[in-house]
Amino acid sequence: MALGVRPGAHMVAGIKLSDRENTAVIVDFAGNLIADLAMPHQPGAMELADLLNLTAELVDRVCQKAGIERSNLSAIGLGVPGFVDAAAGIAHWSPILAGRHIPLAQALSARICLPVHIDNDANLVTLAELWFGAGRRLSDFAVVTIEHGVGMGFVLNHRIYRGAQGLGMELGHTKVQLDGALCRCGQRGCLEAYVADYALAREATTALNWTNRENRSLNILLESLYDHAKAGNQAARSIFHRAGRFLALGLANVVNLFDPELIILSGERMRYDYLYANETLAEIKALALNTGRPAPKIEIHAWGDLLWAHGAAALALSAVTEGLLAPAREIAAQ
């Protein structure tokens, strides 16, 4: 007998918060999109109360767009950057939060009176690829996100691997230079400090003598840097080339450690093709172990922020589904 999901049985919301844009989607139980919403956001860490109010507003506005009440939702999935313990619902550190070790899932659940499930935003992009994208046909693959930071999610035997304490796969905070550049996590020499948005902006300010950086938004500065590189400016090209070499080093380590079938490079920065030019991809092969077997495939998915929100919705759908199946499993085990 063919079984199917009743799409109208449940609806969930997926929310992605960042230091530049916040996005939300509502999907039905079959994963069909009902409504989506994007709201610009000013960079900077927020107090917990402000973040809760912002998230509640985002939920209400996307519900209004969908023509439903907040109470019609079965769960909320929330993605934030930083170090997140998904099982405990704790944000140990996030660039959008002032403070550490915050029980974010519990606090937001109390604020909006709905079950809330949180995760690192890179894991949610990985979940979106697993549910809706290239990962549906693969058992083992990696997703590396390059945007405001550098994140990574890894699927092992069709399931996201998070580590013993739920804080694994922090590729952006692996060290590529002893006593190197300062990372926004507070340590030095992290891969993120050489590849992420703020790293490119830092290099551009110095190499191109852009002393009026404070008058430009980060997006405008990066677009200008990219335009200079495309126009043949060697200093601008060298900034992307250097970042690409560090990225190649990080990806080669992923290959050597995990041997994935596929690596997906995702995030808004994938519009900047200098980061994955042919010489960068060739350097990955040179740095990875030479086993005589084909190297993992690398695909570029330049999705926008809504993909991250879709991953958050998939997290909520997974939790709702697990809650429905658990009683039946308990009965079967008796």
Q: pLDDT of 165-218, one tens digit each?
A: 878 899 999 999 999 999 988 899 999 999 988 888 888 887 777 665 555 677
pLDDT average, residue stretch 49-65: 96
| 176 and 270 belong to one structural domain | yes
**Does 250 have pLDDT greater than 70?**
yes
Whole-structure pTM value = 0.83
* Total domain count, the chain: 2
| 309 and 297 belong to one structural domain | no
236: β partners: none
11: β partners: 28
The rounded distance, in Å, linking the Cα atoms of 81 and 73 is 24
| Per-residue pLDDT, 274 | 63
pLDDT tens-digit profile of 152-170? 999 999 889 988 887 889 9
pLDDT average, residue stretch 77-82: 93
The rounded distance, in Å, linking the Cα atoms of 50 and 91 is 15
| 27 and 112 belong to one structural domain | yes
For residues 288 and 52, the model is more confident at 52
Strand, coil or helix: what is 89? coil
Q: How does DSSP classify residue 296? A: P
Host domain of residue 26: 7-125+305-333
> Which amino acid would we find at residue 269?
R
| Per-residue pLDDT, 218 | 75
| Per-residue pLDDT, 222 | 82
| 209 and 266 belong to one structural domain | yes
Number of Cβ within 10 Å of residue 54's Cβ equals 17
Per the prediction, the chain carries an average pLDDT of: 86
| 86 and 121 belong to one structural domain | yes
Task: Provide the pLDDT confidence category of residue 114 given band limits of 50, 70 and 90.
Answer: very high
**Pairing relationship of beta strands 141-146 and 150-156 according to DSSP bridges:** antiparallel
